[in-house]
Structure formats: C-alpha cells, structure tokens
Amino acid sequence: MIDTIVLTIPKSKYTIINYDRFSPSTRGLFESPYYNLGARNNFSCKQNPTKKDFLSGIYKPRLTVTKRVRKGGYVTPLRIEFSIPKLIFSNNFDEIQENDFELVIKKLKERLKDMEILIKESDLTNANVSSIHFSKNIALTDYSSCSMVINDLAKINLTKRLDLNKTSFRNGGQVIHYHSNSYEIAIYNKIKDLEKAKISEKRSIEKDNIIQINLLDNLNKKKPFEVLRIEVRLNDRNKIKRLLKRLNIALESTFVNLFNQDISESILTYFWDEIIKNTRFLSIDTREPFKLLEIIIKNNPNIKNSKALKLLASIIVMQNAGARNFRNLINNSSRNNRFWYSLKKEIKQLSLPMDSRYNSITEISKLIRSFKPLKLKYHQLERI
C-alpha cells in the first residue's frame, strides 16, 4: 500500500526536548547565537537512526529540522521520513493495511519520544505529506520470475509518454528504474535487492535494509517464491496534488487521507496501466515468421504486401530488441517521429490473434488489481 512517507510538521506543533540529539545541535536554530543561514537562506540539523538501532531491531525515522527565510520572517518545520511497514513489522516484505493506521500513529509517537521529540497524535494524523512511496509486493509462486517481467518491461518505450527523462537498469537486469524531476517508478526483484544489501547498502535500491538483512535466512519458504516490488515515488507535494486531481480524488494530501487502500490501488494501477499500454506487440506469436506473415495477410485483406512485410519485420525486431531501441534506431535516420507514430498506429490496427503463451505482464496486472497484502507467514512451510 504505502512504504516510505515524509511528513512536514510546523514549529507550533512539535517540541524538541533535547537540542543536542541533532547534528549539529538545533539550539542555534532557536537560541542566540543563531546559525548563519548562508547564501541559500536555510540551515538544517539532522537526527538519523544508527546502525546499532537497526541491528537491535529498533526502527526509527529520519528527522530534519530546517530553518528557512520566508516572507514575513522564518519557518522551522520538522521533516519526518520513515518506512511505515519497517516501523510496524521491522521489515517491508510484510505490507500494511488500512486498519493499521492507529497503530502506526501510536508507534510513531513513541519512536519520536525516544528521539526526544514531542508531537500530539492528532498533529501526526493530520500532518501534511510532502513525499510518499506507494508500493506493492507481488509474490510470484508459479515458476514465473521477476527477471521475466523486467525483461519484458525493458522492451517498452515509456519515457516520453509519462514525461520521464531517464530509464536505468541495475544489478544485472534485476531492477528497472524510471526517473523524472518529480517522481520515480522502480520495479525490482526484492529478494535479490536484499542480497545486494548484504554486500553493501549502497548496492541496494532501498534505504535501511539493514534492519531486515537476515529476515529470509531462517524463513522456511515455499518454493517457487520470488517477490516483485513495484514502487511509485512521488517526491514533491505539487506532484501529489496534481496526481490526485487527475484521478478525481478530492482530498487534501494529509497522512490520514492518503493512508487509504483505494487511493494506493488507484495510483499504482494508473501508472502500471500507462507502462503496459503499448505492450500488444509482446503478445504476438513470432516463433514462426512465415506463419505470422500468412496470418497478417489473411486477417487484413486490404493490406499491401510491402506493408505486411514492414509490420512483420517491425514486430519481430521490437520483440527482440525492444520498442525503445527500435524507435531510437529509426529516429536517428529520420528528421521527425512521423514514421514511428504511423507504425505504432498500423500495428495497433492489425487484426491478429494474441499468443496463448504465458504473458508475465498480463499476470502481474491481475495480481495488482487483486491488491491482496503480502504477508510472509502465508508463504512459509509449516514446521513438522
């Protein structure tokens, strides 16, 4: 449902008991002599969880107090960043549910008190959200694999449609990461990511994996069992507001409002559907090119032979090399994108039977829409 979230608390709604728990001390933000805010007109003090905390199974949020110049004076908000499932379960393989909210607020208040910060439960409940990661863990238990899904996604030309400016692949093709200035989409093999974290936290996608580093070591898992992780990371408040408006969700972006299964499902489904919108070419059976050509000509009686051959070749190349690489190749030898858009339209209009083979993307779509929370205990063998 939701993993990482960032709450912003105004100065009037939090109390720091011990300034020196922060680095540097927050004393210079509130008492003379005050810190020089510098050329950027801001100064930040941080309090982060320690490695000892994580190894002891204690999860704490990351705290930042920043003093900024604003019209009419200064503001000094507290930024609280934390993984909700790690706070509750000490791992984020298990997923939270909507009825966990009261427990989350209670636990967060307790952890903040341990860090010598006092905030009322009501102020945490109604805190503004400045960043949020909607997520879904999908258990693959039918001999399909995360790499199958990621390899198929790698063939899709997504960047321009979703206003993304970069796509990256990491950890031997176990991660696909779409970037933009205001949001990211990450899809990866969660178990492999945990294995990478055992070598170095810098190699993993997630922060603070150390708290769950040995989680699966003694888990007597049913086999086959892989976990595909899908994250939509909305990294600023304006992006959250724009997306809620696009989905016709008329709510303020507060913690209590966004802690909602229907909203999580709507956002993840929206992005997943955008990702797979043009994946029809992946479902066309290209194992026998001559037979496919026959079908194209037979099912589309008005098609010219030259066009049939063009579409056959395009489908085969896109399945092999991916739509992104194919598009880049043809655009390099053309002055504009007309050929690409015309080709997409022609393939979409083809009358063709889809392949009956297993399609990993179609299967993931079904699992996202079912939106059942993953719990590791359901995938553990009973001990005799």
Give me the pLDDT at residue 383, please: 47
Give me the pLDDT at residue 338, please: 82
| Residues 120-136, mean pLDDT to the nearest whole number | 97
Task: Specify whether 159 is located in the same domain as 223.
Answer: yes
H/E stretch holding 8 = strand 2-9
Give me the pLDDT at residue 358, please: 47
Give me the pLDDT at residue 159, please: 58
Share of the chain above pLDDT 90, in %: 53
Give me the pLDDT at residue 160, please: 58
**What is the span of the domain harbouring residue 305?**
285-353
Domain end marker among 276, 298, 320: 276
| Residues 71-83, mean pLDDT to the nearest whole number | 94
Give me the pLDDT at residue 36, please: 93
Distance CA 80, CA 6 (A): 5
Task: Specify whether 272 is located in the same domain as 293.
Answer: no
Task: Specify whether 220 is located in the same domain as 264.
Answer: yes
Residue 381 domain-assigned?
A: no
Most confident range, picked from 101-110, 277-286, 353-362: 101-110
Average pLDDT score over the chain? 88
Residue 381 has pLDDT above 90, yes or no: no
Task: Specify whether 304 is located in the same domain as 164.
Answer: no
Residue 190 domain-assigned?
A: yes
Query: 179 in helix, strand or coil?
Result: strand
Residue 375 domain-assigned?
A: no
Task: Specify whether 166 is located in the same domain as 297.
Answer: no
Share of the chain above pLDDT 70, in %: 91
The number of domains in the chain is 2
Partners of residue 5 on adjacent β-strands: 82, 132
Helix ranges, 216-322 (H) = 237-246, 255-258, 261-276, 289-299, 305-321
| Residues 109-122, mean pLDDT to the nearest whole number | 98
Give me the pLDDT at residue 357, please: 44
- pLDDT tens digits along 19-40: 999 999 999 999 999 999 988 8
- pLDDT tens digits along 150-195: 888 877 766 555 665 666 766 666 788 888 888 999 999 999 999 8
Give me the pLDDT at residue 158, please: 65
Residue 1 has pLDDT above 80, yes or no: yes
Residue 234 has pLDDT above 50, yes or no: yes
Q: Which residue has the higher pLDDT, 384 or 246?
A: 246
Residue 378 domain-assigned?
A: no
Task: Specify whether 258 is located in the same domain as 216.
Answer: yes
| Residues 275-300, mean pLDDT to the nearest whole number | 82
Q: Which residue has the higher pLDDT, 296 or 161?
A: 296
Give me the pLDDT at residue 163, please: 61
Distance CA 125, CA 133 (A): 18
Give me the pLDDT at residue 355, please: 55
Residue with tokens 């031997």: 172
pTM: 0.86
Distance CA 100, CA 85 (A): 10
Residue 14 has pLDDT above 70, yes or no: yes
Task: Specify whether 231 is located in the same domain as 303.
Answer: no
| Residues 309-313, mean pLDDT to the nearest whole number | 92
| Residues 95-113, mean pLDDT to the nearest whole number | 97
pLDDT category of residue 107 using cuts at 50, 70 and 90: very high
pLDDT category of residue 261 using cuts at 50, 70 and 90: very high
Most confident range, picked from 103-112, 204-213, 216-225: 103-112
Task: Specify whether 115 is located in the same domain as 188.
Answer: yes
Give me the pLDDT at residue 335, please: 67
Domain end marker among 276, 293, 313: 276
Task: Specify whether 220 is located in the same domain as 331.
Answer: no
Residue 369 domain-assigned?
A: no
- Which residues have a Cβ under 8 Å from the Cβ of 274 and sit 6 or more positions away? 158, 161, 162
Task: Specify whether 346 is located in the same domain as 214.
Answer: no
Task: Specify whether 271 is located in the same domain as 312.
Answer: no
- pLDDT tens digits along 315-364: 888 888 877 788 888 877 766 778 888 888 888 888 876 654 446 777 78
Where is average pLDDT lowest: 63-72, 138-147, 252-261, 278-287? 278-287
Task: Specify whether 236 is located in the same domain as 323.
Answer: no
Enumerate long-range contacts of 107-114, CB under 8 Å, 24 or more apart: 108/61, 108/80, 108/82, 111/59, 111/60, 111/61, 111/87, 112/61, 112/63, 112/80, 114/60
Give me the pLDDT at residue 220, please: 76
Question: Is the CB of residue 108 less than 8 Å from the CB of residue 82?
Answer: yes
Residue 380 domain-assigned?
A: no
Give me the pLDDT at residue 280, please: 67
